[in-house]
Copies of this chain bind each other. A is one copy, B any other.
Amino acid sequence: MLTLVLAESSIERVPKQLAEHPSVIAQAQRRGKPPGSLILDRSYHHSGMRMLERQDPSQAFEKRGRPDIAFHILLQVLGSPLNREGLLRTYVHTTEDKVIEIDPQIRLPRNYDRFVGLLEQLYEQGSVPTGEHPLLRIQDCTLTRLVDESRASMTIAFSTVGESTTMKDACSLMTGTSAPVVLIGGFAHSHFEQSTTKIADHIFSVDKEPLDAWIVAARVVYEYECGMKLPKKRLRVTEGRAFNNRPS
């Protein structure tokens, strides 16, 4: 079982200081929602975010307003054979220390606006759907606590400042352990906080250039599958089935 954590993901609601910015009000009107219930998004609120950055340069906005990153990663990993086998747990940890727990059986919307709508609903209600068996649930939780509670046998983070290693070699380390946890940055630029790197047993860099987080995530999941020979195992099942279905 692999646990994949998108760490320090750029997901949050529009902050109070931006609630009256024209870019936010326009979007709120278009969607018929209160400004404070919108998810911050650099694509739509760029001018407002730049204004805040200029007013208070200590505000680190580079790691904010990119819910699309989690979207691209989730589409890659939730559709994988590993997840379909029930061998993947996926969590989204955010810069505000919230954790979104994802039911592996969720079928995520393929459309970005609908994904963001789902996040808005999640922040509003705490879970989606509400009730006993939510597909998404959000709670206050630090990354340290999340990794602790997943009883990680080994924690590996991927970062450009890590030790140069191929993805294959990084994943072969995990294949031998019972409950590996992988941390991938859910942000566009910048680096992990020290509090994150401290959790990791290994920090690896798998290319000479920074790769998009969704590319790293896709490769981790695939190499982990290969390490446990899942591609062959799943094809054998098909062949078996095809054989059984032959008219006798």
CB-CB nearest in chain B for A84: B209
Known contacts: A79-B211, A215-B79, A238-B164. The answer to whether A68 contacts B206 by CB under 8 A is no
Bound-state CA distance A166–B226 (Å) is 10
A111 → B minimal CB distance (Å) = 4
Q: Contact: B235 with A68, CB < 8 Å? A: no
**Majority-rule SS of A interface residues:** helix
Report A's interface with B, CB cutoff 8 A: 30, 43, 66, 68-69, 72, 75-76, 79-81, 84, 110-114, 164-168, 188, 205-209, 211-212, 214-215, 218-219, 222, 226, 231-232, 234-235, 237-239, 241
12 A-B pairs (CB sep. < 8 Å): A43-B110, A68-B110, A76-B214, A81-B207, A111-B112, A166-B231, A168-B231, A207-B231, A207-B234, A208-B235, A209-B234, A218-B222
